[in-house]
């Protein structure tokens, strides 16, 4: 029998004459030791292994070895050896440098993403402030319409953003472009733009024509004084739906390019324009609440135009042919994420409904806690989106060693972020809550929710990070199915616990919801037969050939 041992170089335990007479029934033992692996030894190993397989007759016809299979099996280890060899030649630590590089890249992508996610809520607060000056009737009417618009946008637009990020990153990694070519047409980009245009038109038509039914579902009767202004406001805001869907899709495309700065610039400039539009249309033209809706829609189209203009610098924007579009992949993955988003939205909506049944004061306290809880999650959500882009790019190249490193760094960074948020909120939330209300009864209940808001942050951060990891490897079916199961279990708890223990039952149900998401994510990464199989490989990989 012949034994090959790869450790910095290839050692052949039999002569070439013996190789010709015998079949290989031993094991290739690959040791990823970092002390003696240099850049040159990696190429020595590869050339000698190819020579042995092709020329020495080590393998019989019945037990032939396909070099492409060997390349796939050993690809992760070889990439790791190449990286380690380059680091060894430069005199840099083989353990710290790759981790630090990933951490730096993750942070540099996360910071602009955090800013981008904070801009739109701030713009909505500004719109609310302008409308609030007009009176309670106008504010209440606009609030209901904005809630309808946001729910529809979140359910249908977020899946497109997430799928576009992964597909564009994979598309870029799978294509080798000449260095002289500045721009290339990418099917994933064209498909995302076509779908966003179609979805945007459908959303606009549905909200414009279905204004009455939507308002009735929200509990606004035809006799209400809020009905007419709410209808006008929602119909005008519906006209901005195509722009919102489009720029969210383009934002996902930029993430696939690992560019989170350009969307922030476009969002900032577009929403800044509304600062000038609001007083002009609302007060100078005296359009009131109608002027507020027009101002918001105009700013949304400015954001979309700016993003398309910058995207045109990165890739060719032409009307694609049908055969080049990736409708199948987008619709399949987007369908899974649509189910996932519905499960998440319904669970959170149920928690609000259960809190509302407890009375006005508990509902007000719950709303304050929930908004702070959701706002804090933006930090982890931005980290998850950055991790998704990095993993999708490396996973498409089968660079499993780097995917493993990104995974570990993302989880550690997310967990650290969760604990940091828990400490900050634990110390500041009792005082911070006074910014929302002066009602002593509400504040007393809010303080009792301190444990929910602060202590659940590590679980929240892990849940979002796991989502980003699933999306990075295009594990959309698991992300959807697990969310549906977790949402169903949490909803059962909310339905039974809230009538018994009150508001703590609502908060416990939401904490269980995030905790089960984290557990599901950990179980998926630990599975040996899923897309994360390579995480279970030890540093000594044995491939038996018999």
User: Per-residue pLDDT for 247 more than 80?
Assistant: yes
Give residue-wise pLDDT tens across range 93-104.
Answer: 444 567 888 888
Provide CB contacts within 8 A for 534, sequence distance 6+: 76, 400, 403, 404
Same structural domain, 139 and 222:
yes
Task: Give the full edge-to-edge strand order of the sheet including 10-12.
Answer: 10-12, 4-6, 27-31, 540-544
Is residue 510 one of the residues assigned to a domain?
yes
Together in a domain, 154 and 250:
yes
Q: Is residue 90 part of a domain?
A: no
Among the listed residues 217, 207, 218, the one whose alpha carbon sits nearest the alpha carbon of residue 157? 207
In a domain, 22, yes or no: no
Q: Are residues 336 and 320 in the same domain?
A: no
**Pairing outcome for strands 540-544 and 10-12:** unpaired
First to last CA, the chain: 11
Specify the residue for token string 């490396």.
394
Look at residue 30 and tell me if it is in a domain: no
How many domains does the chain divide into?
2
Q: Please write the tens of the pLDDT for every residue from 292-320.
A: 999 999 999 999 999 999 999 888 887 66
Helices 457-472 and 476-501: crossing angle, nearest 10°? 160
Rounded CA gap, 189 and 400, in Å? 25
CB atoms within 10 A of CB 292: 25
- Residue 429 has, within 13 A of its CA and on its CB side, a CA count of 28
Query: Residues 178-193: pLDDT tens digits?
Result: 444 456 778 889 889 9
Residues 321 and 430 in one domain: no
Report yes or no: 505 and 423 within 8 Å, Cβ to Cβ.
Answer: no
Domain membership of residue 440 (yes or no) is: yes
Rounding to the nearest 10 degrees, give the CA dihedral for residues 256, 262, 266, 269: 160
Q: CA-to-CA distance for 80 and 525, rounded, in angstroms?
A: 21
Q: In this predicted model, what pLDDT tens digit does every residue of 205-234 receive, in sequence order?
A: 999 999 999 988 877 888 888 899 999 999
Q: What is the pLDDT of residues 106-147, one digit of tens each?
A: 888 888 888 887 787 778 778 878 888 888 788 888 888 888
Domain that holds residue 428: 98-117+332-545
Per-residue pLDDT at 21 exceeds 60 = no
Cβ(189)–Cβ(168) below 8 Å: yes
Distance CA 425, CA 445 (A): 16
Q: Tell me how far apart the alpha carbons of residues 30 and 35 are, in angstroms, rounded to a whole number.
A: 14
Tell whether the torsion through CA atoms of 69, 73, 79 and 82 is positive or negative.
negative
Evaluate if residue 324 carries a pLDDT over 60: yes
pLDDT for residue 265: 94
Percent of the chain whose pLDDT exceeds 70: 78
Element holding 543 (H helix, E strand): strand 540-544
CA 111 – CA 122 distance, rounded (Å): 17
Query: How confident is the model at residue 182, as a pLDDT?
Result: 59
175 confidence band (pLDDT: 50, 70, 90): low
Residue of higher predicted confidence among 430 and 7: 430
Q: What angle do CA 500, 502, 506 make, to 5 degrees?
A: 110
**pLDDT number for residue 218:** 79
The listed range with the strongest mean pLDDT (3-17, 61-75, 351-365) is 351-365
pLDDT computed for residue 56 by the predictor? 42
Q: For residue 507, give both structure tokens.
A: 């908060």
- Check residue 448 and give its pLDDT: 84
pLDDT for res 486: 96
Q: How are beta strands 27-31 and 4-6 bridged, if at all? A: parallel
343 with 205, same domain: the answer is no
pLDDT single digits (tens) 195-212 = 999 999 999 999 999 999
Please tell me the number of Cα atoms within 13 Å of 472 on its side-chain side.
32
Length of the chain: 546
Residues 272 and 343 in one domain: no
Task: Verify that 373 and 481 share a domain, yes or no.
Answer: yes
Buried b (16+ CB within 10 A) or exposed e, 144-166: bbbebbeebbebbbbbbbbbbbb
Q: Say yes or no: 316 and 215 in one domain.
A: yes
Confidence (pLDDT) at 73: 44
Percent of the chain exceeding pLDDT 90 equals: 35
pTM of the model: 0.71
- In a shared domain, residues 369 and 293: no
Last residue of a domain, one of 269, 294, 327: 327
pLDDT score for 31: 37
Tell me what the mean pLDDT of segment 338-355 comes to.
87
CA angle 484, 486, 487 (to 5 degrees): 65
pLDDT of residue 384 exceeding 50: yes
Mean pLDDT within 257-264:
91
Which is more confidently placed, 129 or 258?
258
- Which tops the pLDDT comparison, 438 or 28? 438
Say yes or no to pLDDT of 18 above 60. no
pLDDT at res. 282: 92
State how far the Cα of 347 lies from the Cα of 354, in Å rounded to an integer: 11
- Tens-place pLDDT, residues 137-155: 888 888 888 888 988 888 8
What's the pLDDT band for 536 if we cut at 50, 70, 90?
Answer: confident
Whether residues 356 and 438 fall in one domain? yes
pLDDT of res. 330: 84
Is 50 inside a domain boundary?
no
Interval 392-450: pLDDT, tens: 888 988 899 999 999 999 999 999 999 999 999 888 887 877 877 778 888 888 888 88
Q: Domain end: 327, 353, 370, which one?
A: 327
| 218 & 336 share domain | no
Q: Rounded to 10 degrees, what is the CA torsion of 523, 525, 529, 531?
A: 140
Of 7-11, 51-55, 169-173, 267-271, which has the strongest mean pLDDT? Answer: 267-271
- Asked whether the predicted pLDDT for residue 12 surpasses 80, the reply is no
Beta bridge partners of residue 6, listed in sequence order: 10, 30
What is the overall mean pLDDT for the chain? Answer: 79
- Residue with the two structure tokens 């189910």: 339
Indicate if the pLDDT at residue 321 is higher than 80: no
230 located within any domain: yes
pLDDT band, very low/low/confident/very high, at 504 (cuts 50, 70, 90): very high
pLDDT band for 370, please (50, 70, 90 cuts). Answer: confident
Give yes or no: residues 339 and 379 share one domain: yes
Contact residues for 124 (Cβ-Cβ < 8 A; gap 6+): 146
Sign of the C-alpha dihedral, residues 206, 208, 209, 210? Answer: positive
Q: Which of 312, 327, 342 is the last residue of a domain?
A: 327
User: Does 304 fall in a domain?
Assistant: yes
């Amino acid at each position: 029998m012949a034994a090959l041992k790869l450790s910095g170089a290839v050692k052949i335990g039999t002569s070439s004459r013996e190789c010709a007479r015998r079949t290989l029934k031993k094991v290739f033992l690959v040791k990823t030791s970092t002390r003696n692996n240099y850049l040159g030894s990696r190429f020595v190993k590869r050339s000698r292994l190819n020579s042995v397989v092709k020329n020495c007759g080590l393998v019989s016809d019945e037990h032939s070895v396909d070099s492409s299979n060997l390349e796939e099996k050993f690809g992760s280890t070889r990439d790791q050896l190449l990286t380690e060899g380059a680091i060894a030649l430069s005199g840099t630590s083989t353990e710290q440098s790759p981790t630090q590089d990933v951490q730096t890249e993750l942070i540099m992508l996360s910071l602009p993403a955090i800013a981008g996610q904070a801009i739109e809520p701030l713009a909505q607060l500004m719109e609310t402030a302008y409308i609030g000056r007009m009176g309670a009737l106008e504010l209440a009417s606009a609030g209901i319409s904005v809630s309808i618009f946001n729910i529809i946008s979140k359910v249908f637009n977020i899946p497109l953003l997430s799928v576009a990020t992964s597909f564009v990153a994979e598309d870029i990694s799978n294509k080798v472009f000449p260095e002289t070519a500045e721009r290339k047409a990418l099917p994933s980009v064209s498909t995302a733009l076509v779908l966003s245009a179609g979805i945007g038109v459908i959303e606009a038509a549905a909200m414009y024509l279905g204004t009455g039914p939507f308002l009735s579902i929200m509990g606004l009767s035809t006799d209400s004084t809020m009905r007419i202004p709410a209808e006008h406001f929602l119909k005008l805001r519906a006209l901005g739906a195509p722009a919102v869907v489009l720029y969210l899709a383009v934002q996902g495309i930029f993430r696939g390019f690992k560019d989170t700065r350009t969307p922030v610039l476009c969002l900032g400039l577009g929403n800044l324009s509304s600062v000038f539009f609001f007083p002009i249309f609302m007060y100078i033209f005296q359009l009131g609440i109608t002027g507020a809706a027009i101002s918001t829609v105009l700013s949304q189209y400015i954001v979309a135009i700016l993003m398309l203009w910058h995207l045109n610098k990165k890739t060719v924007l032409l009307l694609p042919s049908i055969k080049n579009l990736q409708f199948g992949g987008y619709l399949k993955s987007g369908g899974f994420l649509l189910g996932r988003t519905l499960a998440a939205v319904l669970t959170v909506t149920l928690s609000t409904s259960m809190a509302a049944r407890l009375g006005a004061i508990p509902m007000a306290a719950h709303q304050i806690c929930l908004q702070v809880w959701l706002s804090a999650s933006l930090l982890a959500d931005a980290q998850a989106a950055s991790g998704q882009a990095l993993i999708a790019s490396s996973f498409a190249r089968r660079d499993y060693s780097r995917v493993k490193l990104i995974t570990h760094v993302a989880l550690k960074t997310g967990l650290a972020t969760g604990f940091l948020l828990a400490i900050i909120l634990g110390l500041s939330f009792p005082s911070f809550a006074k910014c929302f209300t002066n009602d002593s009864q509400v504040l007393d209940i809010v303080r009792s929710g301190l444990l929910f808001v602060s202590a659940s942050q590590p679980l929240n951060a892990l849940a979002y990070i796991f989502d980003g990891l699933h999306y990075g490897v295009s594990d959309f079916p698991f992300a959807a199915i697990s969310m549906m199961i977790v949402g169903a279990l949490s909803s059962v708890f909310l339905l039974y616990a809230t009538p018994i223990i009150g508001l703590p039952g609502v908060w416990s149900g939401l904490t269980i919801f995030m905790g089960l998401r984290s557990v599901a994510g950990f179980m998926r990464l630990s599975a040996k037969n899923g897309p994360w199989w390579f995480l279970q490989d030890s540093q000594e990989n044995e491939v038996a050939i018999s």
